[in-house]
Structure 1
Amino acid sequence: MTVFVPDPTLDTTFASAPGGSRARAEVPEAERWNLADIFPSWEAWKAAFDDLEGRVRGYATRKGTLASGPGALLEALRESDTMGQLAYKVWYFASLAHDEDQRDNAVGARRQQVQLLFAQWRQATAWFNPELLAVPLDTLRAWMDADAGLAVYRFMIENLFRQQEHVLDERGEHLLSLAAQLTRVPDDAYEALSTADMRFPTIELSTGEQVQVTYPRYRALLATNRVQADRARAFEAHHGAFEASINTYAALYNGVLQRDWYQARARGYATTLEAALHGDNIPVAVVENLIASARANVGAFQRYEKLRRRALKLDTYHLYDGSIPLVDFREHYPYEQVVAWIVESVAPLGPTYQQRLADGFARRWVDIYENDGKRSGAYSAPVYGVHPYVLMNYNDTLDAAFTLAHEMGHSMHTVLSHERQPFVYSDYTIFVAEVPSTLSEALLLDYRLAHATDPLERIVLLQHAIDGITGTFFTQVMFADWELQAHRLVEAGEPVTADGLSALYDQTLRAYHGDAIDYDALSRVTWARIPHFFGSPYYVYQYATCYATSARLLVGLRDGDPAVREATIARYLELLAAGGSDYPMALLQQAGIDLAEPSTVGAVATLLDTLVDQLEEALGTRGLL
């Protein structure tokens, strides 16, 4: 068994995040991710790009060969895998470099080159699925039974036949492939408008400090500034920048909705939701029941917001009041200190897992702090054949600490999936993706609750546990609710306007928050700053289902019986290593999770009620209510 040994070179000075944004050239190498692990230079990238481009052009020569025998089919599948592995590196080298500073047009042009090549790739291979589907499935099964190499692709092939009714003929697939580059336009335009071209205003706080309300600074201000007027000013300035272009945002989102409806109809789906879920074999009822269950259980959510209003001694309570700690516990969480905590927190998953996570931090997987032009937010990029890369805009807040744990959970999922699965199954589905990220956050929370000595910090951590439920479950379901309603507008042939989208968002906000908050004029336009709506339609509901899954797994990890804990760990690591080798619902069932059981989702609301009781008692004991 591998024994975890902390890195002796780990910086224990726990330096704070930089005070302001910097030019990319000013960021020390140790604080940047190491893209040289993908390619040592742009020249090497160009050589790989040219190789991929040549393979894409050459793939068309395989057209008409698939029915000739198992050898020809296997060669075609393996060449497709080779192109896919190369594409990961070619795309992410350009894309990650672009996200370092999105104002760099030269890098942005290279990124667009890859997007154009991918569109050509889809066009060059549009014949593949219709031609494969023309071969009788019984014939293919006989070939797979006789050929171990071809048998690797069994799940992929049988899944394609399951979706056969939604695969078009060669001409239809070719026409859809020609539109592929267009489908990215609303998302790319949203990124440009909301990030590269966004000019967030600067506000003056009650202290006289001047602050530009960029994404990370806005989030940090809401999480740390205890003056409600300052939070209100930041909210108005930040969302006012979106309201100034609200008609443009609505036009872009209409483009997303129309694209999704076009693609759904082109493939013969009754709704956009059915089209989004069918690939992973997820019943539409999973989302519909999730929304219905959340709407039926908002009482605990609203009770928490009313408790916050009392604890914060506020006459009014707004969306911008939801992140501030309930107690005056001023603590910064320096990056290196949090790294050490995260590594220690995953000890329940075993020393091998723990060591590999530590290695990721040591080997510069993470781009740590904000710099001028850098993409906002955070993500984990699964670069096949190299290692994951994590983008952060770390700002020393508790929220940033848990975001780092979240993204490293994704990254470990990538590591285990890529090393255990053949390329064709290495990419896990979104439906499973948020399980390790939310579980990693829960483990960090457990670790801090066990080690925090300050009673006020314990209240902050208990609040964070509740915020994890309200933010990851109820808020994400609310987003999914609005998103589904918006898609149904286009399905019903209704107009999509800025006023209509904002009114729909206002109605949805009120359905979940009720009378627990006071509504501001700009609350109704906050949909415009949610990137998932534009870049990942029908994504956010999976945060909620994955939260329910990770909560159920935690029960096993916390069990007093060592045998139960070991069995839970084994099932969980197998889930991560399974990648996309089966349907996500089946993979979760193998891990002991059944989302068809109402108790799996309903238990979240019960847990929230219990935690709110505990927080109310803790605050009352200290005379803070």
Structure 2
Amino acid sequence: MKTYRLFLMIPLLWSCIGFAQDDLPTFTSREEIPEKYKWDLTPIYKDWKHWEQDVENIKSIYTQMASMEGTLGTNPQNLIDFVNLEEQAGKIGIKLFCYAYLFRSMDSRNPEANNRYQEINGVMSELSTKVSWVSPEMLSIPEEQMLKWVDENKELEPFRFGLTRMYRTQKYVLDTDTERILSYFSLPLSTAGNIYTELSTSDIKRQEVTLSDGRTLSMTPGNYSQVVTFSKNREDRKAAYEAFFQPYMDYENTYAAILNAVYQGDWASVKARGYNSYLQASLYYNDIPEEVYLNLIETAKTNTQPLRRYIDIRRKALGYDEYHPWDGSVSITEFEKVYSWDEASSLIIEAVEPLGKAYQDELKKCFAGGRIDVYETPGKEGGAYSMGVYGVHPYILMNYNGTMNHMFTLAHELGHNLHSIHSSQSQPHNSHRYSTFVAEVASIFNEHLLLDYMLKQSKDPNERIALLNQAIGNIVGTFYRQSLFADFELQVRTRAEEGQPINAPALNGIMAELNKTYNGDAVAHNEFASRTWAYVMHFFQLKYYVYQYATSYAASAHLFDQIVHGSKRERKAATEKYIELLRSGGSDFPINQLKKAGVDMTNPEVIKSVSRRLDQLVEQLEKELKAINKL
């Protein structure tokens, strides 16, 4: 499961603890980094030769699958044989894709990695055409007959949910010939998203900034984060901010054209199937009511008073007349601490103790070496993500810089890892992949645990202020910021569906208006802030994804309260339900999975409770600041 910790890279409204840059190791190339801090991909494949062998294997399996056209409904044994082949192909396919993607992430300039990544995308597109007949043929089997076969054949039981779920989408599956034609467009429709990656990673020209201390730095994501987080010189932070976002402004028309291509292609695909909107198509398969999405964005933007109050408190604590985006990450306390990799690892392991020893033991394996790529190097993909490889183990990409934010990012991605591990251990391949709607619950839950643990350990008022800032920053970045992004995506996709132009002026206008809606006059106007849409990879590659950060924050907060508070018996029961949620993978609709775990996401109060929680934290922060005469 690939996931990204996007909001850490957008310096608008949160704060974190600082540290001395010299206290962490720095590397100019991957060769300098000790092996324990780098990925070991050999558990997937020993080398590209073995990868190539599996490319041929999966082609052979798909040929066998294709030969079964017209036979699936004749008897249950044919169906059993087919789903077993499909399961085998799925296991190989995820290894092929992940190996190529992970290799490319280590250095996007590597021509072999780029070629292999393009190759596997092409192969999978070609193979999908071979089996484009499957959905129509499956749906030609009456649902009653399918249920009877599943009930009578234990070999089909692991596939029950997937086999019966497809009847929900029956009216949106076309005839075999039309499905085959549509399959030809899968690769070209993904091209625009790949162009975005190349423009933003391989070809982007990072600007250099000469700081007040005489250093000249290229504004890579890592260097940029360092400056805006730790520099006390406001002009340095402003220069870094403007230099970082300048390339996105310089190529805003190109980025707008790419986004237009992505959204027009998406709309054409779902319109061909008869959906009313891309939102409906995105939510329908997982049976998520559209009201959940719409309620989220409406609730978030009508409950922004605690957010604006927080910004105003930061402005006063920093002593500024105006508050700007480059003021959003600098610490408002004098507390400074370095979090070495080993210290961060220990803190996270200790923090997850409420989930039990077995959970902690699995977490320790992630730190044993080969599973986390820790430090930033030239050409390496920015940000952070966790990618599960079924039958192997998950991998985490980091660009660790020792900040508190990065430590919480690590806890976040480890939550994804443990989710993937539990799911893969408990589910067959066909149902191990959990939906994106629940994907962020486990990751954000880990952040709650780490924050709670550190707040309980802290006696220093300055440290408590920094931790409260971290807690508030999580809400701002995970709930409010992602709700704003969800609103932006809905508005832009609606333009595509209504035939309105999607260009840079229109996109900038939508983002500027949303910034005003959320921040009011608390943040001064800035022309770069309206261009941040071009930086948000999710808009281009992970469609209707960002809202799930916000819904997941709300869900994980409820689960956290149940597991950490209450009686011993209640905590034990809540923990067992939570672990079962992780184990359930994609074996049920996500709304049902969360209900079983104790959270009803159709209840608007779940969403509203986040703004109430923010109000409480801001109140506590204000008291702490007054206690040390910072306000």
Tell me if both proteins adopt one fold, taking TM over 0.5 as the criterion: yes
- Answering whether residue 282 of structure 2 is matched by residue 281 of structure 1, we say no
Match of 2:85 among 54, 70, 79: 79
* Aligned residue identity for 2:29: A
One-letter amino acid of the structure 2 residue matched with residue 429 of structure 1: S
Among 91, 97, 102, the alignment partner of 1:96 is: 102
Matched, 1:106 2:130: no
Is 2:516 the partner of 1:515?
no
Task: Note the 1:178-577 alignment, pairs <5 A.
Answer: 178-577=184-583
In structure 2, give the amino acid aligned to 1:82: Q
Give the structure 2 partner of residue 17 of structure 1.
Answer: 24
Q: 1:3 matched to which residue of 2?
A: none
Q: Aligned partners of 1:71, 1:610: CA distance in 2, in Å?
A: 59
What CA distance in whole angstroms lies between the structure 2 residues aligned with 1:228 and 1:266?
52
User: Could you say which structure has the greater relative contact order, defined with CA pairs below 8 angstroms and 6 or more residues apart?
Assistant: 2
Alpha-carbon separation, structure 1, partners of 2:445 and 2:73: 45
TM-score normalised to the size of structure 1?
A: 0.96
- Name which of 37, 46, 51 aligns with 1:45: 51
**How far is 1:610 from its partner?**
0.6
Q: Deviations over 1:309-348 (max 9, x none)?
A: 1111112111221122211222221111100111111000
Unaligned runs of 5+ in 2: 1-20
Alignment of 1:601 with 2:599, yes or no, is no
Report the 3-state secondary structure (helix = DSSP H, G, I; strand = E; otherwise coil) of the residue aligned with 2:376.
coil
Q: Distance in 2 between matches of 1:174 and 1:498?
A: 35
* 1:193-225 C-alpha deviation (Å, 9 max, x unpaired): 011111101101121111111112212222222
Secondary structure at 1:68's aligned position in 2?
Answer: coil
- How far 1:16 sits from its partner (Å)? 4.4
The letter for the 1-side match of 2:389 is V
The alpha-carbon deviation at position 486 of structure 1 amounts to 0.5
Moved more, 404-413 or 239-248: 239-248
In 1, are the aligned partners of 2:581 and 2:597 still within 8 Å (CA)? Answer: yes
Distance (Å, rounded) in 2 between the aligned partners of 1:491 and 1:245: 25
* Distance in 2, Cα, partners of 1:302 & 1:385: 47
Within the alignment, does 1:27 sit opposite 2:7 as a pair?
no
Q: Distance in 1 between matches of 2:240 and 2:181?
A: 46
The CA deviation string for residues 367-400 of structure 1, in whole angstroms up to 9 with x for no partner, is 0000110000100001000000000000111111
Would you say the 8 A contact 1:66–1:73 is kept in 2?
yes
Q: Residue 64 of structure 1 aligns with which residue?
A: 70
1:553-574 deviation line (CA, Å, top 9, x unaligned): 1111222410011011001000
1:380–1:410 Cα contact (<8 Å) kept:
yes
CA shift, 1:131, in A, is: 0.4
Partner of 1:616: 622
Q: Is this contact kept in 2: 1:15–1:334, CA < 8 A?
A: no
d(CA) in 2 for partners of 1:260, 1:222: 36
AA paired with 2:230?
A: T
Matches of 2:122 and 2:431 in 1, distance apart? 25
Alpha-carbon separation, structure 1, partners of 2:304 and 2:431: 38
Query: Which position in structure 1 is the counterpart of 2:7?
Result: none
Structure-2 separation of matches of 1:399 and 1:120? 42
Residue 526 (structure 1) shift: 1.2
Cα deviations across residues 96-147 of structure 1 (Å, max 9, x unaligned)?
0111000011111011111011101210110001001111111111111110
One-letter identity of the residue aligned with 2:186: A
- 1:571-597 Cα deviation digits (max 9, x unpaired): 100000000000000000000100111
AA in 2 matched with 1:335: W
**Is the partner of 1:226 in helix, strand or coil?**
coil
Q: Which runs of 5+ in 1 are unaligned?
A: 1-13
Counterpart residue type for residue 472 of structure 1: T
CA distance in 1, matches of 2:456, 2:370: 29
Residues in 1 aligned to 2:405 and 2:229: alpha-carbon distance in whole angstroms = 8
Q: Bigger shift: 132-141 or 542-551?
A: 132-141
1:133 to 136, 139, 149: 139
Q: Do the aligned partners of 1:85 and 1:423 also contact (CA within 8 Å) in 2?
A: yes
* 1:582 match: 588
1:62-98 deviations in Å (ceiling 9; x for gaps) = 1111011000011101100100001111111111011
Superimposed CA distance per residue, residues 534-563 of structure 1 (whole angstroms, 9 cap, x where no aligned partner): 110110000000000010011112224100
Q: In the aligned structure 2, how far is the partner of 1:394 from the partner of 1:323?
A: 17
Give the secondary-structure state (helix, strand or coil) at the position aligned to 1:203: strand
Contact 2:38 2:369 in 1 (8 A): no
The answer for the alignment partner of 2:10 in structure 1 is none
Percent same amino acid among aligned pairs? 38
CA apart distance, 1:442: 0.9
Is residue 323–residue 524 contact of structure 2 (8 Å, CA) maintained in 1? yes
Q: Which moved more, 1:200-209 or 1:413-422?
A: 200-209
How far apart are the structure 2 equivalents of 1:556 and 1:218? Answer: 38
- TM-aligned CA deviation for residue 15 of structure 1: 9.8
- The alignment partner of 1:151 has SS state of helix
When the two structures are superposed, what TM-score results if normalisation uses the length of structure 2?
0.95
Cα 1:58–1:15, aligned 2, differ >3 Å: closer, same or farther?
farther
| 2:367 match: secondary structure | helix
Task: Quote the offset at 1:17 in angstroms.
Answer: 3.4
What SS class does the counterpart of residue 280 from structure 1 fall into?
Answer: coil
RMSD between superposed Cα atoms in Å: 1.3
Helix, strand or coil at the partner of 2:528: helix
AA aligned opposite 1:30 = K
AA of the residue aligned to 1:443: L
The structural deviation recorded for 1:519 is: 1.2
